[in-house]
Amino acid sequence: MVVFPNAKINIGLYITEKRPDGFHNLETAFFHVPWTDILEITPSDRFSFTSTGLAIAGNLTDNLCVKAYHLLKKQFELPAVDIHLHKIIPMGAGLGGGSADATYTLLALRDLFNIPLTNQELIPFAQQLGSDCAFFLEDSPQFGTGKGDHLQAIETRLTGLWALLIFPNFGVSTQQAYSGVKPQKAPFYLPDALKPPVESWKNTISNDFEKTIFPLFPQLETIKENLYEMGALYAAMSGSGSTMFGLFAAEPSEEFFQNKNFTIKIVQF
């Protein structure tokens, strides 16, 4: 079985409080992005995980696809499988690629072996794998609260718009992202703030992580400014970075960012 885990972007991200368990509560809007990895799972005599494409750092046991398999195997009699991941979505980029891979592993295993679980019933499994994994069980944009794992559908769509995504080929660590963050109540109810036209978001909707990350990596703020100079209706950092994106009414050109050692992707919603 072959599936195509997709990326996401966040539009608006507000850190609202620190939790007793050390995590933070936040409010954000998740949108699917048509930029995918390729994941193949086949029955086998013995379990294996292999990957091609972008090099995946870390131990095999730490890989979220492997964790997803063993998580389901604890509860259901799963046979051994070969999991092959062709990695395309940059890692440590704020695009949710690893979370998507994990969630699509759950979905593929369910469908391959006819496990009697609905997407709704897969949510507790996804939540154990990562804060934003549950989003990839949904087809539509979602408003995320809690750690980002409590979701409700929102009306806003990006249909017809274009996105220019710029990954500067360096990541931002979680420690860097949260250093200096001062949790506070969100300034508004984000699903309502997303209802006006996209071009109005520039003056209202922001990502709290930009306040702490831009001083550490000024290049990211420059990219955001460049996106607006190119005519972006809205530009921001996705998640905790380091990917910057701009939303455009017409197909943008990547020419301005060429020869800068960036990973560039243009997609249409």
Query: pLDDT digits over 70-107, tens only?
Result: 999 999 999 999 999 999 999 999 999 999 999 999 99
Are the C-beta atoms of residues 210 and 243 closer than 8 Å to each other?
A: no
Does residue 12 share a domain with residue 131? Answer: yes
Does residue 172 share a domain with residue 147? Answer: no
Choose one of 153, 171, 198: the last residue of a domain.
153
Does residue 115 share a domain with residue 8? Answer: yes
Choose one of 95, 126, 153: the last residue of a domain.
153
Choose one of 153, 187, 215: the last residue of a domain.
153
Does residue 64 share a domain with residue 111? Answer: yes
Does residue 185 share a domain with residue 108? Answer: no
Q: How confident is the model at residue 23 (pLDDT cuts 50, 70, 90)?
A: confident
SS3 267: strand
Are the C-beta atoms of residues 141 and 152 closer than 8 Å to each other?
A: no
Q: Residues comprising the binding site?
A: 90-100
Average pLDDT estimate for 19-31: 93
Residue 221 structural domain: 162-268
Domain count within the chain: 2
Task: Give the domain CATH number at 247.
Answer: 3.30.70.890
Does residue 133 share a domain with residue 77? Answer: yes
Q: How confident is the model at residue 1 (pLDDT cuts 50, 70, 90)?
A: very high
Are the C-beta atoms of residues 134 and 121 closer than 8 Å to each other?
A: no
Does residue 120 share a domain with residue 29? Answer: yes
How many other β-carbons are positioned within 10 Å of the β-carbon of residue 83? Answer: 23
For the cut 90, the answer to whether the pLDDT of residue 115 exceeds it is yes
Question: Would you state the pLDDT for residue 180?
Answer: 82
Question: Would you state the pLDDT for residue 226?
Answer: 97
Does residue 140 share a domain with residue 176? Answer: no
Number of residues assigned to the chain: 269
Residue type, 264: I
- Can you give the pTM of this predicted structure? 0.96
Query: So which residues are the catalytic ones?
Result: 8, 132
Does residue 81 share a domain with residue 131? Answer: yes
Does residue 117 share a domain with residue 21? Answer: yes
Give the phi and the psi of residue 33 in degrees, each rounded to 5: -125, 130
For the cut 90, the answer to whether the pLDDT of residue 13 exceeds it is yes
Q: Residues comprising the binding site for ATP?
A: 90-100
Average pLDDT, the chain: 96
Question: Would you state the pLDDT for residue 47?
Answer: 96
Does residue 132 share a domain with residue 110? Answer: yes
Task: Give the domain CATH number at 19.
Answer: 3.30.230.10
pLDDT in tens, 129-180: 999 999 999 999 999 999 999 999 999 999 999 999 999 999 888 888 888 8
For the cut 90, the answer to whether the pLDDT of residue 22 exceeds it is no
Does residue 182 share a domain with residue 136? Answer: no
| E strand spans, 4-112 | 6-18, 24-36, 38-43, 48-53, 81-87
Q: Is 243 exposed, middle or buried (0-12, 13-18, 19+ CB in 10 A)?
A: buried
Percentage of residues in the chain having pLDDT higher than 70: 100
For the cut 90, the answer to whether the pLDDT of residue 246 exceeds it is yes
